[in-house]
Amino acid sequence: MHLAKLLPTFLAEADEHLQVLEEGVLRLEREGVEAGLVRELFRSAHTLKGSAGALGFRRMAELTHRMEGVLDALRRGRQDLEGLTDLLLACVDALRTLRQEVAEAGEERTEVKDLVRRLEAWERRPAETLHPVEIRIRMREDCPMRAARALALLQVLRREGEVEQVVPSEEEIRRGNVDLELSCRARVREPEALAQLLSGADVESVRVLPASDAPRDERWLDLGPQARGKLSDDPETTRRAALRTVRVDVERLDRIMNLVGELVVDRIRFQQIAHRLRTGGGDHALAEELLDAAAHLGRVATDLQAQVLKTRMLPIEHLFSRFPRYVRDLARRAGKEVEVVLEGQDVELDRSILEQIGGPLMHLVRNAVDHGIEPPEERERLGKPRAGRLRLAAYQEDGIVVVVEDDGRGIDTDRVRRRAVELRILSPEAASRLSDREAVELIFHPGLSTAAAVTDVSGRGVGMDAVRAGVQAVGGSLEVETERQKGTRFLLRLPLTLAIVRALTVTCGGERYAIPLSSVHEIVEVPAFRVHRVGSCRTTVLRGSVLPLVSVHEILELPVPPEPDRLLCVVVSSGRRRVGLWVDGVVGEGEVVVKPLGAYLGEVPGVSGATILGDGRVALILDPVRLVRLTVREEELAHVG
């Protein structure tokens, strides 16, 4: 078969195996050598080697062959990991680069000889001998912060070898459920030195005893292939599982979604025709029959729509899985220790949203590691564990909520106020009037950063405004909660899908437009005598707050009507600010199928897409956030809001 036909499948499978390898190596680094994990890594390297070799990608095959050799050594009982996980992660990075080169140019360009030599050198290195021991540690009754002390003792043990078992478990210790005694089973380099290393003012006694050297696998209960799920070793089971699934190009799914959208529009048109027939004195029986047919078409279209939408959904694990490695590398560069906690990875989101929130999420994580979480020494002085905690979670609640939370410094709102004054964003008087909650909102102002120094990671004040804009671009919102010395939590509230949205249809300049209901707060009529000019902006006062008014006619260069006695305004949100969009009329609300504008029209300022209305007319879908930015400078908003 021609290479071009096999390449897409190879690339998709390579992505999956590289993800398995990266996640597995991180687990290896965190948890030590475990037979099942090593088998999984070996299997991925072996499969990738076979696929790459079959298609003639020699460098990928050579590198995975050497990785296979190293993993085989671990599989046969070798335990020393010093320097190995870094080397294996470097190999995964090189394989990703080669994969990208193959995808773009059909050939490998990156050299891998140095990595191959380093893997061979590790294989030749004499294996380190570790001695199995059992350790009993008793802390003093007056030991303060026993949980933190117990975790510190575990870190000492890990530096000396591998910790296989600890009672109470590490999770219980982190919850604070620890008494005076700690029991461990470990393999260490020098058992004789352990008692000295583990002793200290808070430790009453340390006992180190030789342990029976039973093979590690015997201590693990294997629940069999069914429990291991996709890691089954049974080739027949694997083959049958593969036959139940097919790979579908995402563009084909998008086309199916567009066709389903056409069905939804036709259903609405049939219903409108039937209602006109019934109310216009036409054949009543025919109208009822048409309504029945439209109702049936509606049920089928709704079911089909739900199934197609489901095929576009992906677990958020696809996005979360990149962060453990990313945080590990960031933390090392910053000299910090960070534990990543992932929750709700099976929550599903439309793949389009997953693709678009990756950047904003990456920025929030980068800020948490660089600005939020303190260095280990500072955390110890504050009575916190040395390692900071970064939690990424997702759950369903009227859409999807994604949480990025750290247990670091929190946002210093006084410092944010001072910085806003220094940058002339606010006057000192205006800054002093802000509540803490309002001051936190200033971090979303372009150019405002409280970082003491600019690093290659962050500190230029570029990004938080883009983060919020990125979340709003998919119809979501971003909230922030913070407490000094306790940490910061960002909540991204996202819709399940971008393909179909509820929208308000309005008229302006003789055309119809749709405004996503997720941005609409209310519709108000403003008497002309209550409209004022502040700079280039129209404003009014709504329930005691200044509300900027934006003319949709002027933004879209439509004929501007004489200013009426009363302005009809749709109040939408732009961040925490609300803005009134002046329109001619409101038609109603309902579901619309979002369609891209296509390459012919390209990007139209203030417009996010198009839709076909029930009467067959095409309406542009307005993007409230971008509309406001087109006309009102943020500086003006900061002063008038």
- Is 46 catalytic? The answer is yes
Q: Which is nearest to 342 in space by CA: 365, 361, 323?
A: 323
Structure tokens given for 559? 């004929």
Contacts of 27 (CB under 8 A, 6+ apart): 37
Cα dist. 413→416, 418, 426, 492, 639 in Å? Answer: 5, 9, 14, 21, 19
Residue carrying the six token digits 């819709």 = 495
The H or E element containing residue 541 is strand 537-542
- Is 62 catalytic? The answer is no
Which member of 13, 29, 46, 337 is catalytic? Answer: 46
Q: How far is CA 127 from the centre of its chain?
A: 40
Cα dist. 363→91, 467, 488 in Å? Answer: 26, 7, 14
Q: Contact, 595 vs 486, CB < 8 A? A: no
3-class DSSP string for 471-493: HHHCCCEEEEEEECCCEEEEEEE
The C-alpha atoms of residue 85 and residue 111 are separated, in whole angstroms, by: 20
Which member of 22, 40, 68, 108 is catalytic? Answer: 68
Task: Write the DSSP symbol of residue 530.
Answer: G
CA atoms within 13 A on the CB side of 283: 6
Q: Which is nearest to 507 in space by CA: 568, 584, 569, 571?
A: 584
Q: Which is nearest to 506 in space by CA: 526, 518, 521, 523?
A: 523
Q: Is 537 helix (H, G, I), strand (E, B) or coil?
A: strand
The C-alpha atoms of residue 310 and residue 307 are separated, in whole angstroms, by: 5
Q: Which is nearest to 88 in space by CA: 130, 49, 116, 109?
A: 116
List, as own/partner pairs, every contact residues 487-490 make where C-beta atoms lie below 8 angstroms and the sequence separation is at least 24, other chains included: 487/372, 487/405, 487/406, 487/407, 487/408, 487/409, 487/410, 488/368, 488/372, 488/405, 488/406, 488/408, 488/410, 488/411, 489/403, 489/404, 489/405, 490/364, 490/403, 490/404, 490/405
The H or E element containing residue 271 is helix 250-279
- Is 218 catalytic? The answer is no
Q: Is 449 helix (H, G, I), strand (E, B) or coil?
A: coil
Q: Is 412 helix (H, G, I), strand (E, B) or coil?
A: coil
Q: Contact, 405 vs 390, CB < 8 A? A: yes
Q: 457-491 burial by CB neighbour count: b if 16+ within 10 A, else e?
A: ebbebebbbebbbbbbbbbbbbebebeeeebbbbb
The C-alpha atoms of residue 163 and residue 155 are separated, in whole angstroms, by: 9
Which member of 367, 405, 441, 634 is catalytic? Answer: 367
Report, as residue numbers or ranges, the catalytic residues.
Answer: 46, 68, 367
